[in-house]
Amino acid sequence: MQAATNVSPEEIARFGKLAARWWDPDGESRPLHDLNPVRASYVADRVNLRDARVADVGCGGGLLSEALAKAGAHVTGIDLGEKVIEIARLHMHESRLENPSLDIDYRVQSSAELAAAEPESFDAVCCMELIEHVPDPAALVGDLVRMVKPGGLVVMSTLNRTPAAFGAAILGAEYIMRMLPRGTHHYAQFLKPSELGRLMRHAGLEVDDVSGLGYNPLNRKAWLSRVTAVNYLISARKPA
Ligand code: SAH
């Protein structure tokens, strides 16, 4: 395995500390738990998941990977965090007691390695809440484009770079509600939808939707919205 370059080791260590509690809906991954059904159905609305090959890049403990696999997809979940991958595998084994057909291949692998090993192999590629943590966002988008099949779907989600996102994700979640450890997010690395859209188009994708991901941490409700000021989803296709 080549050493991965597009990664901050501090980021991997930070998420590694959260690994053991990843599947606790009241733990630090609580916002991801609450957002997960909405983003899973956003993907399911755009691609027929039954027997689709799907990559989940930066899969963490596997919240989205499992949701997609439950809908019938064959999922490859990659992350550079060994601890989070270990937890993802453990949880999959537990979930298989109820759902024996769950098919997820979790790997400690970089996006560049997966793209090189399996180019144009996936019907859909998901990359949620990762791009704001990598040193070179354009390189990550390039990897996603290489691994998706022509005609395939790429869905990403991330935090916008607005005062509202600063207020919600950093001040609110890290400082006031203390849901997330301080230092989880770096405002300067957040991307506006226009900037992420441009990166995707420059990499050869056709962006077909940007939707806001609304979230109320008090009642834990999440919904799709026209307001992209905090968190948003972006969907694109690789031309066939
Ligand atoms: N996509 C998941 C997890 C988001 S948390 C979800 O939305 O539910 C961010 C994840 O990205 C963590 O699991 C962390 O280990 C991983 N990560 C951070 N930098 C990375 C990099 N450069 N390459 C791959 N994974 C990375």
What are 185-240's pLDDT values in tens digits?
999 999 999 999 999 999 999 999 999 999 999 999 999 999 999 999 999 999 99
Average pLDDT along the chain: 96
Residue 96, token pair as written in the block: 């298989």
Residue 192 phi, psi (nearest 5):
-75, 155
Q: What is the pLDDT of residue 1?
A: 54
The structure's pTM equals: 0.97
List the domains of the chain with CATH numbers.
9-237 (3.40.50.150)
For a pocket test of ligand 1, which of 89, 133, 233 has the largest count of ligand atoms closer than 8 A to its C-beta? 133
pLDDT digits (tens, 9 = 90+) for 128-180: 999 999 999 999 999 999 999 999 999 999 999 999 999 899 988 888 888 88
Q: Work out the number of other CB atoms within 10 angstroms of the CB of residue 147.
A: 26
Q: Is there a binding annotation on residue 39?
A: yes
Q: CA nearest 70: which of 34, 111, 109, 41?
A: 41
Where does 160-230 show beta strands of DSSP type E? 206-216, 221-225
- d(CA 74, ligand 1 centre) in Å: 20
Does residue 75 surpass a pLDDT of 90? yes
